[in-house]
Structure 1
């Protein structure tokens, strides 16, 4: 146990801040769920995400819990603006987006001498100049591309830092199939591929990662939609500039409920996820969070 603690402490002090709500990049897992792959009609939309991630433990590269009591939380309010235009590109509706996250992070780590680390503020901003949405009789498909910019404050000595200290290019591809013409039953999968830049303060370049959020939903006759949701994420390449070669993974299962008021242009969703498996990679300081997520999502046509 002393050897494991020493390894965790050395990694914690020598590498990067811990982006606990993400895998080894920027995108927070569990932020989307049922119907996420269907782009909305032409117009301007606001989507707000209230996100709370309660961390039960931090796992090592082997997937085992780090020694001692290591807990924390990530609370976020993310503001996303989506503009779907009347332009047709390759037979798809064309749009663009921007995301401004506000974060409050707090970690209590025995592996760091029982210290508490915290930070809050505006996180790194995302700009997506490309959203393409295709729609069929019983299917929807989405492609998107954008960039997370290194706009937030980053402190390599603070694992709770709201900034990542590097940029991330994110490519999105997803699809949804409706089992019936009334679109009462559906299955969907939304994948994100992240490629990161070098973290200037440490010289570490996080490895590429692939993230998948999926859902199986049913809309009741009263308009309420219920479903099973989950996410699976894998780091595909080892980080450059760090001796840790292991790759991070995270897996979760949960449930979602939603309801829309068409006359008001308003939609509200709530979801809960439980992470059942997690293991660390290099950029995670030799530690990877594992916990539970509660997410509220409000979409309003402007």
Structure 2
């Protein structure tokens, strides 16, 4: 059985809002999607109809520094972010739309902060925002696999205006996704994935701030080096295409995030349908946000 980890990832790296530092006040609110959270060597492959997928992911984001619009260190101290996610997906049998298999999904998160920080936040483990994918469609044509989806972020996490222990962002957002994976039909195959995402936002509760829309491009390449074990390289970029509005004191400049790293995927023969994946990525050349090293340990089971 082929296993594709749910591309649901809504909550890959988390931090809180609010700071008394002037530099932090100029940083825009980052998107809900954690860049690279749903990226893997074969992440655009939808599992076969009738497949259930359950995934538990442990997330770490160790922030080295915060950077301004020129990429210079603001001098604010770094922080460590920790979160976990529990994701569910089901590929509904005998249901197709536009010729594609249909697979809704849900992600629940538990975290100590919210996504991409401003300095000055504090940790407090609580439920975070939830992620619901009502529509995901997948097609298969030989070695090519394509997937599109529509995802909604639901503000179920704690949010208080100016709070330093928020685990939610206090707003709704919507994300449109399209991705394709080419995977060889052979022993020890190569796989290449290319994905694009566009996220747009509602106004934040109590503040009326509306974050700028975000466009992300992600790519991965990997190879199964021995039976059940694959190694891969990952890279992604994300940037605001519109400017944040409604910010008291003036709207901040747009942000940009770049990340590169690697992935190890193991599918144990003794437990068909199981998958263990470790992804590690490092930020570089960012603007108006944080920089650090992100990691995800994912345990998934398809049945």
What TM-score comes out, normalization by structure 2 length? 0.84
**Structure with more of its chain in strand, by fraction:** 1
Find out whether 1:154 has 2:159 as its counterpart. Answer: yes
Aligned to 1:276: 284
Secondary structure (helix, strand or coil) at the match of 2:182 reads strand
Cα deviation, residue 294, structure 1: 1.3
Q: 1:31 aligns with which of 33, 37, 49?
A: 37
Deviations, residues 51-73 of structure 1 (Å, cap 9, x unaligned):
10000001112221102x41112
Aligned to 1:65: 73
8 Å contact from structure 1 (residues 31, 51) kept in 2: no
Find out whether 1:244 has 2:251 as its counterpart. Answer: yes
Aligned to 2:297: 296
8 Å contact from structure 1 (residues 106, 118) kept in 2: no
Deviations, residues 45-97 of structure 1 (Å, cap 9, x unaligned):
10111110000001112221102x41112211101100101112111111100
In 2, distance between residues paired with 1:202 and 1:160? Answer: 17
Aligned pairs (5 A) from 1:142-181 = 142-159=147-164, 161-178=166-183, 181=186
Aligned pairs (5 A) from 1:9-48 = 9-10=21-22, 12=24, 24-32=30-38, 33-42=40-49, 43-48=51-56
Cα deviation, residue 237, structure 1: 0.4
Aligned pairs (5 A) from 1:209-224 = 209-224=214-229
Gaps of 5+ in 2: 1-18
Cα deviation, residue 218, structure 1: 0.5
8 Å contact from structure 1 (residues 124, 149) kept in 2: yes
Aligned residues: 278
In 1, distance between residues paired with 2:72 and 2:236? Answer: 20
Q: 2:57 aligns with which of 49, 64, 68?
A: 49
Task: Note closer, same or farther for the CA distance 1:292–1:234 as it changes in structure 2 (3 Å cut).
Answer: same
In 2, distance between residues paired with 1:299 and 1:213? Answer: 21
Aligned to 1:284: none
8 Å contact from structure 1 (residues 238, 247) kept in 2: yes
Aligned to 2:108: 100
Cα deviation, residue 155, structure 1: 2.3
Secondary structure (helix, strand or coil) at the match of 2:21 reads helix
Aligned pairs (5 A) from 1:111-190 = 117-159=122-164, 161-178=166-183, 181-182=186-187, 184-190=189-195
Gaps of 5+ in 1: 1-6, 19-23, 281-287
**Structure with more of its chain in helix, by fraction:** 1
In 2, distance between residues paired with 1:266 and 1:132? Answer: 23
Aligned pairs (5 A) from 1:189-268 = 189-242=194-247, 243-261=250-268, 263-268=271-276
Cα deviation, residue 35, structure 1: 1.1
Task: Note closer, same or farther for the CA distance 1:173–1:159 as it changes in structure 2 (3 Å cut).
Answer: farther
- What root-mean-square deviation, in Å, do the aligned CA atoms of Structure 1 and Structure 2 show? 2.5
In 2, distance between residues paired with 1:106 and 1:124? Answer: 9
Cα deviation, residue 133, structure 1: 0.6
Find out whether 1:80 has 2:90 as its counterpart. Answer: no
In 2, distance between residues paired with 1:131 and 1:208? Answer: 21
After the TM superposition, list the runs of 4 or more consecutive aligned residues in structure 1 that deviate by more than 6 angstroms: none
Task: Note closer, same or farther for the CA distance 1:171–1:159 as it changes in structure 2 (3 Å cut).
Answer: farther
